Structure 1
Amino acid sequence: MTLRINRTVVIAFAGVLLAMATIQSGASIAKQLFPIVGPEGTTALRLGFSAIVLWLVFRPWRAMPEGSDLRAIIFYGVCLGGMNILFYLAIERIPLGIGVALEFTGPLAVALIGSRRKTDLIWVGLAIAGILLLLPDMQGEESLDPVGVALALAAGACWAGYILFGKKTGTQASGGITVALGMTVAAIFLVPLGFVSQGMAILSWEVIPLGLAVGILSSALPYSLEMISLRNMTPQSFSVLMSMEPAVAALAGFLILSEQLTLWQWLAILLVICASLGSALTAEKRQ
């Protein structure tokens, strides 16, 4: 019994880590599309291609939800779509790493509200401290664009809804089918927005291969992995575990872009990693 639970925790932990790695790869490609089709067009490509790939892989028509199940998936899809478009609009105005840190207020709120043990509050506190250290001085000469900050925080609110409704829908069908249906809901209202904003440039041969790569790396694969993880842990455990996201972004900037980090930023990375590992190691006691 103990071995089975430990294996479940490990699978959930590995799924979240792999999801973060693919999202960071997809984000680097998405940034290359901004000058061509803007955040709206990039979001349309990401969600549109993700929905197509997920429908082909998971064939959700075999288990279409009805009634309250359908409503839960619609809310899940709306939150998913809002999270995507708001985040891309935010990082058009503020740095990617800062956008991730600000967006993370949503999952942290879920973790804090859902806490039932003192140890949960310890991990949340460590994660919050780390994220605060990653933020720049808002009063300095290089203060952030306030609109970009507001958009990132709004994306965080959608992320919180994505976690909560994702956990609710995860018990209704397979994780893949749930993600496919949720992605379809998001694509229905955001793909037309992309065409209205950017026109037929979205369908140029220069853009389509990159859009397909973004769709798979940034949505289809990581959201499927996250749904698997959500089915095997509580929402607050998932939220704190995902606090590694800003650290992954900071490390990617160092390894890929040769961005130098300060001592305080390295300390921030250590704090969020400790919070994530602590949450994973104590997850067995909460299940």
Structure 2
Amino acid sequence: MPWSPTGSRPRRSWRPSAFPSGCNGVSAPAPLNSLPLFVRLAGRAVILVGEGEAAAAKRRLLERAGARIVGEDEAAAVLAIVADDEAAVARLKARGVLVNAVDRPELCDFTLPAIVDRDPVLIAIGTGGVSAGLAAALRQRLEGLLPASLGQLARGLYAARGGLRARFPDGAARRRAIAAALAPGGALDPLDDHGDVEVLAALTGDDGAGAVRRIVLASRDPDDLTLRHARWLAGADRVTHRADVPRAILDRARADAAREATDAPPATAASGERVVDVAMMR
């Protein structure tokens, strides 16, 4: 760049249009329609206005969360759910209360998601109020995928924190061990039912115990296998089965997995062995 007559470099002119999408031309993230929050309502006042089934359903949800349900005149409340009363929505908003207007997303300050509860794991599915049916359908799919023991796994991970710090003093190594255990097919894959698994032993590779998982088939069609059952078969070292289990089902196991037709399902597995026992529903 040439020098200016004064001996200093000329200033560049800043043109905002040179970077229309963000720094270095990288597109800026799209704004969130709303920010997901998990709010603890136990003992806190929440206004509920309205009658009928819609209001009753919201009452049940608030009671489940431990909220103290109050009327519109409660001054301490900062949240309100209103069913079929647009005038009440306007009055409450004028007071600075955040309002959920049932089935009126355009009037809502916040929406209530569909919930999958695996305490303490809580999954919320929201569509910004545009399709409660879609949120419900997604919840139903997730209910079928997530084992009932998922919350137990979460509590086990929490309890294992001290042992993990001792076993993996380096934070990066500790994160890698946890990530590997929770990965698909890992020792603590969250989509598998781990029951009473010893979390710390599984994370540190000190658990030599084998596992027997049982599948009871309602259909002879392999396409009707649940995702969880298909993954069990794919990861099995040995498959035991009744004589009437279709070959097409057994073919979903690894080619090198041992297969054993038996009327007496195994009670235990060898050290480190993953056994899947398959039977038809009677």
Provide the TM-score with structure 2 as the length reference. 0.22
Provide the TM-score with structure 1 as the length reference. 0.21
Q: Which has the higher contact order (CA 8 A, sep 6+)?
A: 1
Name whichever structure is richer in strand by fraction.
2
Which structure would you say has the larger Rg? 2
